[in-house]
Amino acid sequence: MADTRRVGRISDIVIDCAHPASLARFWAAALDGYAVAPYDDEEIERLRSLGIFDVEDDPTVLVEGPGPGLLLQRVPEPKRVKNRVHIDLVAADPDSEITRLLSFGASIVETYDSHVWLADPEGNEFCVSLTPST
Amino acid sequence: MAVRFQIVIDCQDPEPLARFWAAALGYKFEPPPAGFATWDDYWRDVGVGEEELGIGEDRIIDPDGSGPRIWFQVVPELKAVKNRLHVDISVGGSRAVPLETRRQRVDAEAERLAGLGASYVRVLSEEGLDHYAVAMHDPEGNEFDIN
């Protein structure tokens, strides 16, 4: 429980992007047990009150799962340099995981002995370790 | 599927940053693999050259195992622009907790982290909005929010 823990915990990793809804789908598909947070009536009404009538235009989209959430947040500025913070993925079968990630929008930037450096559909760097998880 | 992930933060000097974030999150330095007294011993055994060793502690883990591991990766370049990824730290509690209580918890945590080397950026609060957060920088200028 967040309310009883002695110190804070990471609730979300916030990712700046151009189109939160589509990047949220990518990361929900990438991470085991994660999904785009469902829109209930209250949330749809809240968006309407902001003049947003299509959830595809939601400026902040949450991807939730067993660990910290990923909060995709629309920002006006484009990505300019390599991100200084990134996510490393570990998979039971790294090669097939990379093939799977490529099938829905990831691209390979460079391959190393220990890991493959990829980019999400908006160019955010992430890595997949070539050491299978146990 | 990708079963789990870690967060990687580029930095100049990993140990002070690892120390800061361990204190911020209640994490601890990750112990070296079994059979090795230090991470340097382990990496030497892997075949990593001496020029890459001796950087100090650079990985922290959640003792509960629930939060992701964080690795502070040494890079040659300095931070140039606002990070496109940042973490939110939750201390205030859910919206079921009164806003004033959340504000007090957030302010107390911001003060604690300022004492550990973080700096204040701004308070994120608006009249009429049921939300209170403080934006800060870690000791190397990485943005994070406390809410």
Q: Judge whether residue A3 has pLDDT over 70.
A: no
Please answer whether residues B35 and B41 qualify as being in contact, where contact means their C-beta atoms are separated by less than 8 angstroms. no
Instruction: Determine the average pLDDT of the residues in B107-133.
Output: 94
Nearest-5° angle of CA A58, CA A64, CA A65? Answer: 165
Chain centroid to CA B18: 7
Measured between beta carbons, the chain A residues lying within 8 angstroms of B73 are: none
Q: Judge whether residue B3 has pLDDT over 90.
A: no
Give the other-Cβ count within 10 Å of A61's Cβ. 26
Instruction: Determine the average pLDDT of the residues in B89-95.
Output: 92
Closest CA to A115 of A88, A84, A86: A88
The pLDDT score that the predictor gives to residue A6 is 67
Q: What is the DSSP letter of A78?
A: P
Label residue B98 by pLDDT band (50, 70, 90).
very high
Closest CA to B146 of B117, B115, B111: B111
User: Do the chains contact at A87 and B10, CB–CB below 8 Å?
Assistant: no
Q: Which residue has the higher pLDDT, A1 or B104?
A: B104
Give the other-Cβ count within 10 Å of B129's Cβ. 9
Distance of alpha carbon A113 from alpha carbon A118, whole angstroms? 14
User: Do the chains contact at B4 and A32, CB–CB below 8 Å?
Assistant: yes
Interface test with B, best of A3, A17, A73, A85 (most B CBs within 10 A): A85
Residues 6+ apart with CB under 8 A from A73: A14, A15, A16, A17, A20, A59, A60
> What rounded mean pLDDT belongs to chain A?
93
Closest-CA residue of A relative to B74 is A84
Q: Judge whether residue A2 has pLDDT over 70.
A: no
Measured in angstroms, the CA of A53 and the nearest CA of chain B are apart by: 21
pLDDT tens digits for range B17-50: 999 999 999 999 999 999 999 999 999 999 999 9
Chain centroid to CA A57: 17
Q: Judge whether residue A9 has pLDDT over 60.
A: yes
Measured between beta carbons, the chain A residues lying within 8 angstroms of B86 are: 13-14, 85
The pLDDT score that the predictor gives to residue B2 is 55
Please answer whether residues B117 and B138 qualify as being in contact, where contact means their C-beta atoms are separated by less than 8 angstroms. yes
Label residue B1 by pLDDT band (50, 70, 90).
low
Please answer whether residues A124 and A79 qualify as being in contact, where contact means their C-beta atoms are separated by less than 8 angstroms. yes
pLDDT tens digits for range A25-79: 999 999 999 999 999 999 999 999 999 999 999 999 999 999 999 999 999 999 9
The pLDDT score that the predictor gives to residue B47 is 93
Instruction: Determine the average pLDDT of the residues in B89-99.
Output: 93
Residues 6+ apart with CB under 8 A from B38: B32
Q: Which residue has the higher pLDDT, A82 or B2?
A: A82
Q: Judge whether residue B129 has pLDDT over 90.
A: no
> What rounded mean pLDDT belongs to chain B?
94
Inter-chain contacts counted by CB atoms under 8 A, chains A and B: 133
The pLDDT score that the predictor gives to residue B126 is 84
If residue A98 lies in a helix (H) or strand (E), which one and from where to where? helix A94-103
Instruction: Spell out a b/e string for B48-66, using b for 16 or more CB atoms within 10 Å of the CB, else e.
Output: eeeeeeeeebbbbbbeeee
Q: What is the DSSP letter of A133?
A: P
Distance of alpha carbon A115 from alpha carbon A59, whole angstroms? 33
